[in-house]
Structure 1
Amino acid sequence: MPVSAKGCVHVLYDGNLRAGGTMLSPYRVLDLTDDRGHFAGLLLAQLGADVIAVEPPGGQRSRHLPPFAGNKADPECSLQHWAYNRGKRSVLMEDQAILKDLALTADVLIECGAFDVDLSELRALNPSLVTVSMSNFGEDGPKSEWIGTDLTLNAAAGPMSLNGYKDRAPVRISAPQVWVNAASEAACAALIALSDRRQSGIGQHIDVSAQEAMILTAQGWLATALCDNPSAQRTGGGFELLGMLKFRFVYECLDGHVTITFLPGILVGSFMNRLLDWVQSEGHLDDDLCGIDWTDLLVDRELEEVASIAERTAACLANALTAYSKKDLFEMAQRDKLLLVPVITPADVLETPHYSERGFWDEVDMGRVEGIVKFPGPWAHGSPTGLRRLNRPPTLGEHTAEVLAETRPFSSSGAQTSTPRKPFEGVTVLDFTWVYAGPFATRMLGYYGARVIRIESQTRPDQVRTSGLTRDPDDPDGPENSQQWHSINANKESLQINLKAPEARQVVLDLAAQSDIAINAFSAGVLERIGLSSADLLKVNPRLIICSTTLFGQTGPLSSIPGFGNMGAATGGYYELTGWADRLPAGPFLAYTDATSPRLTAALLIAALDHRERTGEGMVLDFSQAEGGIHFLTEAILDQQVNGFAQTRIGNADRWRAPHSVYRCGEISEDQWLAIACESDDQWAALAHTLGREDLADLKLAERLNREEELDQLLSDWCGEQDPDIATHLLQANGVPSHRVQNSPEVAADPQLLHRNHFVEVPHEVYGSSWVEQYGFRLSRSDGTPERAGPLWGEHNFEILSDMLGYEADQIAELVIAGVLE
């Protein structure tokens, strides 16, 4: 029956009309978050949902946070608010009755503690409602009541311990990242719950931990202590392997910096070989380094020899690069297919032709500033249905009367299915991706019931299989010894297919005919050349959802460039925003956008499945990891074009908060650090009292910013005498946001993460057991705990070919002879 938020019949709300018939157009989302969650609502709005920002009379917190357009405080001009509230409708909640009425018309409610709200009562009123709670550490456990900020949650999660230089403090990305990562997980979790609701008829509650969500950005490198590997260390924008192999990613050039995927292995070694041929032609490569094949650099060499080769080669490369500009080097990289991109600023991002040619920017007339403002827009293209373009953010309470006057079809919960199933049970995913970005996304579907078939080949092994953490350090050459493979590909099956064999085409088509999703990471044109274009796949299965996830997407001037997440981070602006102003950019660690993009990819796939269930339509999706990553820096992009302020790396300082830094505890050799961040005068007063400096307790923010160096020295002296764990507990008890900077040993032993079972020990056929990670959310009804480690090489070949495709033994034997199953 139609239900109105005020119980009266006026205008019937038509979600399909408002959202243009996009993927999530039937759904209504109540967004009760502030800066700690509003990105979730933006993502759901882009996917087509009707998102209603429910605000208190004074407006939600982000409206009052700097920077402001024109640098003048105004709740309608906060760039933080502009960044993640477009496409929403604002409703003032003057009393709880309004929220209860709205909840009767909603499908999802997301909150972060900005309101006192009884979610159990709302779910009782509307049993089909999905509620999402975002918090610092999760809703229960020993740290559930701890306060947190972007800085201290970075420290608690662990990725900060991997950013920066060994002789300085661990460093965060200067543009806050914790809550955008947590919000992207919240959006995914809400969509998973809606998928469950289609079969169960009832909603459920979701608990999102910001600490856990941020852990994913370490890309598995915080599990070292669980498998007796040395902890990863800060290497100044590079990568350290096995405690002694250092690979440098960032280099100076004539007019700035470039980043290079400077790594060995079958997947990237050929790119390195071409690059070093150029270094040799420039006369900078030492004679004894010429001719070394980087595809097998780690084979039959002692680690000490490899370490020396890597260090000396990096020095030769650095000398060759200094004479050339970023533009010259990038043009060479595109021509010669090298894994090299420039480190660009937010201003450069705005001027990059590729993004404009793909129609990435939403150009919005904001009214309060001159000219059109460019916002990061659709991060994926879709046919026949894509992402929704969003207009300006709403003014406070702009849509209150409109929303409260609407009616909306409301269907009460149906009977629960007699046998509960996981949300994606019965869904089959063909996974042609590799390394981190794609596999992280498909793993989420696998955790919640999908059959994910990982297509791989020993002719082109996944980089994760051949490098990284080892499950058993005493078996370094074991073909199944990659700890990260076990985790990133948990709950999946393995089918070996050599796509270069002509006979492989028909096998893929047969698989596609019985699958729901086919996702790949091939550069533009690759699949077309082997007869596996989207049109070919849709011909055998018109209901198939086909998704490409690549660095720059399938169209545009940069679409042919292969790449990894370190390159996405550099071309998205992250490198410029990580580290210290007086040194080379220091990260972020490894392949950052390979960790941010999977949540967007997963949300896209789940939304596409939802749309297909209603329409029967298949879909072709083109996801750009770089464009997805830019959304995590929207505030910096806006600050550049609206205020002309070029955000850059500033260590652990914050333009709007003080003190705000990371301080050494104990001896230098111990590498122990404590993050402290005061977001309010009250928190500063509590810190001053803890330090015994009551004379400083009344300092206001402006005074603290002016005396920041003095206060940092005061805290450095105090922290130098402290144990980081004891100090953390003391400060938290006194109401001061703080946390020890944790690396793998501390993360593995963190009582909060143990309580939430973040690292799960699962069976493994070769090693008995292995460790896999959970995401940052838990669903009250749908259990997504991983059950098995990543598959062995071709472990499920016969099962898939025989049972799923119905191939006879002779047919399978012919495929073996033809080299298809290599």
Structure 2
Amino acid sequence: MGTSRDRMSPVLGPARVIDLTDEGGLLCGQILADLGADVIQVEPPGGSSARLEGPWLEGRPGSERSLFWWAYARGKRSVVLDVEDEDDRETLLRLARGADFWLESDTPGRLAALGLGYEDLTALNPSLVYVSISPFGQTGPKAGYASSDLTAMASGGALYLSGETDSPPLRVQVPQAHAHAGADAAAGALLAHFARKRTGRGQHVDVSTQQSVTLATMFRSLDAPLAEASARRVSGGAIAGGVLLRTRYEAADGWVTLGPCFLPSTGHFMNRLLAWIGEDHDVDPGLLEENWGLFALNLIRGEREKGDWLRAETLLDRFFRTRTKAELMAEAVKRKLLLAPIFGLDELIASPQLAERDFMCSVARPDGEGRAHYPGPFARFSESPLHIERSAPRRGEHDDEVRRELQRSPAYAAPVEGPQEALPELPLAGVKIVDFFWVLAGPGATRLLADYGAHVIRVESTKKIDTLRVIPPYQFNNPHPEGSGAFHSANVNKQMVSLDLTHPEGREIALDLVRWADVSTESFSPGVMEQYGLGADALLEVNPELIQISSTLMGQSGPWRDFTGFGNLAASVTGFQQLASWPGEPPSGPYGAYTDFLSARFNAIAILAALEHRDRTGEGQLIDQSQAEAALHFLTPAFLDFTVNGRASVPRANTDWHAHPHGVYRCAGQDRWIAIAVRSDAEWRALCEALGRRTWISRRDDTAAVEEALASWIEPLDAADLEARLQEKGVPAHAVLDTPDLFGEASLLDRGHFQEVSHEIYGSSWVESSRLLLSETPARLPTEARAMGVDNRAVLEGVLGHSAEQIADWAARGILS
């Protein structure tokens, strides 16, 4: 058991982090700072290039006025050092000798050429965890590519799937790619730290932004290997059997979106909605009698027609126009409806939900002019709460302070006895997790932990089938609960148990698993686990040292705590939908259950932080993870634009605060596009030269004319050829990859992104790999897509010690279902 001082100190309180990242990786260091680490941001003499990113304080650019910098340098100290200067490099080497983590997002190979690479620094400090974030990873055919947020989203497939069918692919106007990579990098840093606690040695964590972004396709990168029909860009609806099932409707004062309420696990939500409509409107009895849980499947099978859906669509369209967004939100919470108003970020900031949860944190402004309101903690910890206090630093603000502290020993450089040649155990070997999570935001987190050694037992039930089992990509384009590539990708490397939690004996088996576990997870609506007799109090009664994480859309408290749904609805409420739109057009939003992809990372980080706290103190704890609150960390610059400037973000399509031209341009072929981002006059000259248009060089600021000329010139060209041409000149450009392109993408294949696994029905299947490359403790490779309940006996007998006769009795009585 740790001391009282251990219990009071931050999770990473002893750690020092040297952070050389720019706008491509700042979030990683900020997450470590939120966990208590001392993060020293190293800036070049002119200041970090992240200071050039908008929006700006009061709309006026300046190196100390970038709200992007304020957003992601919060919690850090700043020192100015020039990696090209010999004396400054010596200072960096002295910092490295005493550091616990080193973060960098430079061009692969540049720091090594300057004597600051992984091999150089670990020779000085063998315990150092060295994290590299780069557009395409440290090696591979595109390792040297120039990149930007827009081109990174294009390379990872997420851009292609977002936007309107008949328009160019569309990005979220607040940069997202860096945050996907930064959150992955933070998880990777913590995993390497857990390995270091076993061996005393650090290692290299290699993060590819492209690979991180692929999670935002919701595993549609597997379309080609699974022989699934390729995903297409469809905003405001979903296609089933060739029929567009509209999910976006106009409300009295804006827009509202539906969840996928026509799947086996969600059809009852449509029945609830129609019952509400029927209180004031005539509803066709056929709609009330429809089996909405099978509706999408029946369209695919040809057992329903377009006209069957249009009757519902017409009714929904007429009804929603009579309701305000506030009314729709209130009824969604009250009646547990699968719908959400599409709020602007400003509306969420002013909401009673964030107010009652006291979510925002107040931090001193870097300019000394009062305080700024930031997004609060990404998760709420009962025993080790996050404290967000330090503002973003001014350039070189801590130069003298840091130089006085150069003489330091690493906090985690404990000597390890015995030979060190053998490959160490995986970082989380011995950690036991009982996983009641479902869909993606939770299972994606526990998949990551399982990849790195945790023993994860996934509990599900045929009584309430996981929604991820009934969405594509399917094996051979055939809807089957055991054929979903998405489900298997989120759940490989786990043991699969089926259990009826509504049965008293099922509850007792679940409690047995909790007694065994270090961590218990769940992502049901607040109160559901209590209905099963498996609420936090019941779990802690049988295992007082348990770490229990509950992940929901809005958190465990507040007036919207009962808001139900998936990541597409949370994206609607948190402003993502509105921030990915064409001016004057309906909100498009990012693809799929977007906030699920973000929360998967924060759930994993929260569990790792709680495990670190328990290692130091012996204490378990409760974690309240609100998907909406965590996702707001991907929108912090826009959040600050409102709380500091009072300016609500409006749709800007693919334009950028700083770069121009900056857009997605049609190329030769059907629905083929290229993303181009020009950030400087030098890149503009290079673009003009690559296109043989030197006469354009002086016309960069004639935005409309440049866009028209570029679009006309590029349209007949092949996207891949043009990408290569522009990259040769150092211009950030990338073909917008669709889902079949991803499976053939050399940079993903180089990192082993696609893994073929065995499957008891189909013989073999495909899943995505871990998105992290750890040099000393690589992820456990998945070998099998395991079926529901396939490990019932192995777990109940081998782990819990129940007899074969007892297990057979439970199976016969349907308790293991």
TM-score exceeds 0.5: yes
Offset at residue 245 of structure 1 (A): 4.3
The residue aligned with 2:390 is: 391
1:737 is aligned to 732
Mapping for residues 648-659 of structure 1, pairs under 5 Å: 648-659=650-661
Q: Distance in 2 between matches of 1:74 and 1:413?
A: 47
Q: Aligned partners of 2:725 and 2:80: how far apart in 1? A: 39
Report the equivalent of 2:491: 489
Tell me if the contact between 1:523 and 1:560 (Cα under 8 Å) persists in the aligned partners: yes
The 2-side partners of 1:612 and 1:245 are apart by: 51
| Cα 1:817–1:674 shift into 2, 3 Å | same
State the 1:371 CA deviation: 4.9
1:592 aligned onto 2:580: no
- One-letter amino acid matched to 1:235: V
Write the mapping of 1:5-16 to structure 2, written as runs, cut at 5 A: none
Kindly indicate whether the alpha-carbon contact (under 8 Å) linking 1:282 and 1:320 is maintained by their aligned counterparts in 2: no
Q: Secondary structure at the match of 2:442?
A: helix
* Alignment equivalent of 1:279, drawn from 248, 272, 277: 277
Cα deviations by residue, 1:305-329 (Å, 9 ceiling, x for unpaired): 5462344423321221011110111
Runs of 5+ unmatched residues, structure 2: 83-87
Contact 1:575–1:586 (Cα < 8 Å) also in 2 = yes
Match of residue 123 from structure 2? 124
**Taking structure 1 as reference, are residues 339 and 371 closer, same or farther at Cα in structure 2, changes over 3 Å only?**
farther
Amino acid at match of 2:512: D
Q: What is the one-letter code of the residue matched to 1:41?
A: G
* Residue 107 (str. 1) matches residue 100 (str. 2): yes
- Secondary structure at 1:437 match in 2: coil
Q: Distance in 2 between matches of 1:173 and 1:271?
A: 29
Partner SS for 2:500: coil
Show the counterpart of 1:674.
674
When the two structures are superposed, what TM-score results if normalisation uses the length of structure 2? 0.94
Name the counterpart of 1:75.
Answer: 63
Check 1:238–1:479 CA distance in 2 against 1; reply closer, same or farther (3 A cut). Answer: closer
- Other-structure match for 1:443: 447
* Kept after mapping to 1: 8 A contact 2:378/2:630: yes
In structure 2, give the amino acid aligned to 1:568: A
Alpha-carbon distance, 1:661 to partner: 1.0
Asked whether the 8 Å contact 1:284–1:317 carries over to 2, the reply is: no
**Structure 2 residue aligned with 1:539, among 538, 541, 545?**
541
Q: Is the 8 A contact 1:551 1:563 kept in 2?
A: yes
Shift of 1:380: 1.1
Instruction: Give distance in 2, aligned partners of 1:464 and 1:238.
Output: 18
1:7 maps to none
Confirm or deny: 8 A CA contact 2:53 2:657 kept in the other structure: no
Q: CA distance change for structure 1 residues 413 and 149 in 2, over 3 Å: closer, same or farther?
A: farther
- Once the two structures are superposed, residues 289-309 of structure 1 have per-residue CA deviations (whole angstroms, 9 ceiling, x without a partner) of 332121232456654454623
Shift of 1:692: 2.4
* 1:15-57 deviation line (CA, Å, top 9, x unaligned): 9989951222222211111111111111111122221112223
Q: Are 1:23 and 1:386, in contact at CA under 8 Å, matched by a contact in 2?
A: no
Aligned length: 798
The 5-angstrom pairing of residues 718-757 of structure 1 reads 718-757=713-752
Secondary structure of residue in 2 paired with 1:710: helix
Question: Are 2:89 and 1:96 equivalent residues in the alignment?
Answer: yes
- Asked if 1:812 corresponds to 2:810, the answer is no
Are 2:786 and 1:791 aligned?
yes
| Conserved 8 A contact 2:104-2:131 | yes
Residue 551 of structure 2, aligned match among 541, 546, 549: 549
Q: Distance in 2 between matches of 1:727 and 1:466?
A: 39
CA separation in 1, counterparts of 2:652 and 2:303?
Answer: 37
For the residue of structure 2 that corresponds to 1:223, the secondary structure is: helix
Matched with 1:471 is 475
Measure how far apart 1:285 and its partner are. 4.3
Instruction: Give SS of 1:354's match.
Output: helix
* Equivalent residue, structure 1, for 2:427: 423
Per the TM alignment, residue 281 of structure 1 is displaced from its structure 2 partner at its CA by 4.0
Deviation (angstroms), 1:519: 0.6
Instruction: Report the Cα offset of residue 199 of structure 1.
Output: 0.9
Extract unaligned runs of 5+ from structure 1. Answer: 1-14
Check the 8 A contact 1:164/1:237 in 2, yes or no: no
Residues in 2 aligned to 1:152 and 1:229: alpha-carbon distance in whole angstroms: 26
State the partner residue of 2:460. Answer: 456
Q: CA deviation at 1:793?
A: 1.4
- 1:508 deviation in Å? 1.4
Instruction: Find the counterpart in structure 2 of residue 332 from structure 1.
Output: 331
* Aligned-partner residue type, residue 112 of structure 1: S
Q: Secondary structure at the match of 1:217?
A: helix
Matched with 1:37 is: 25
Whether the 8 Å CA contact 1:286–1:316 is kept in 2: the answer is no
Identical positions, percent = 39
1:663 is the counterpart of 2:658: no
1:606 equivalent in structure 2: 608
Per-residue deviation, 1:656: 2.3
Partner of 2:85: none
Q: Report the counterpart of residue 164 of structure 2 in structure 1.
A: 165
Question: Aligned partners of 1:307 and 1:776: how far apart in 2?
Answer: 41
Cα deviation 1:761-818 (Å, max 9, x = unaligned): 1222222221111243211111115323442010000010001111112322342354
2: CA distance, partners of 1:540 / 1:657: 57
In structure 2, C-alpha distance between the alignment counterparts of 1:141 and 1:527, rounded to whole Å:
46
Deviations 1:174-202 (A, max 9, x none): 11100011100010111110011111210
What is the CA distance between 1:149 and its match in structure 2? 0.9
Contact 1:435 1:464 in 2 (8 A): yes
How far the C-alpha of 1:626 sits from its partner, in A, is 0.3
Letter in 2 for 1:70: E
Rounded to whole Å, the distance in 2 between the matches of 1:408 and 1:358 is: 40
Structure 1 residues 477 and 205: alpha-carbon distance in aligned structure 2, compared to 1, 3 A threshold: closer
Matched, 1:144 2:132: no
Question: Retained in 1: the 8 A contact 2:237–2:246?
Answer: yes
Conservation of the 8 A alpha-carbon contact between 1:676 and 1:739: yes
Q: Partners in 1 of 2:187 and 2:244 — Cα distance? A: 35
Alpha-carbon separation, structure 2, partners of 1:737 and 1:568: 32
CA RMSD of aligned residues (A): 2.2
Pairwise mapping of residues 768-779 of structure 1 onto structure 2 (< 5 A)? 768-779=763-774
Q: Give matches, 1:251-290, under 5 Å.
A: 251-283=249-281, 285-286=283-284, 288-290=286-288
Q: Is 2:51 the partner of 1:58?
A: no
The Cα of 1:619 is off from its aligned counterpart by 1.3
The answer (yes or no) to whether the contact 2:325–2:341 under 8 Å persists in 1 is: yes
User: How far did residue 525 of structure 1 move?
Assistant: 2.0
3-state SS of the aligned residue for 1:472?
Answer: helix
Determine the C-alpha separation between the residues in 2 that align with 1:467 and 1:219: 10
CA contact (8 A) 1:681 1:699 kept: no
Matched residue, 2:505 = 503
- DSSP 3-state at the match of 1:297: helix
AA aligned opposite 1:793: M
Matching residue of 1:685: 685
What is the rounded CA distance, in whole Å, between the counterparts of 2:460 and 2:120 in structure 1?
48
**1:630-686: CA deviation from partner (whole Å, max 9, x where unpaired):** 11000011112322332222221223221111111125xx11111111111111111
Q: Output the amino acid matched with 2:454.
A: A
Pick closer, same or farther for the CA change 1:183–1:284 going to 2, 3 Å.
Answer: farther
- 1:365 corresponds to: 364
Residue identity opposite 1:573 in structure 2: G
| Secondary structure of 1:617 counterpart | coil
Residues of 2 paired with 1:153 and 1:302: CA distance?
34
- 1:752-763 equivalences under 5 Å are 752-763=747-758
Letter in 2 for 1:428: K
SS at match of 2:316: helix
Task: Give the direction of change, closer, same or farther, for the CA distance of 1:19–1:616 in structure 2 (3 Å limit).
Answer: closer
Q: Is the 8 A contact 1:489 1:789 kept in 2?
A: no
CA distance in 2, matches of 1:278, 1:654: 43
- Whichever residue aligns with residue 656 of structure 2, its letter is D
Matched residue type, 1:657? A
User: Against the structure 1 CA distance between its residues 454 and 253, is the aligned structure 2 distance closer, same or farther, given a 3 Å change threshold?
Assistant: same
Is contact 1:280–1:290 with CA below 8 Å preserved after alignment?
A: no
Q: Secondary structure at the match of 2:232?
A: coil
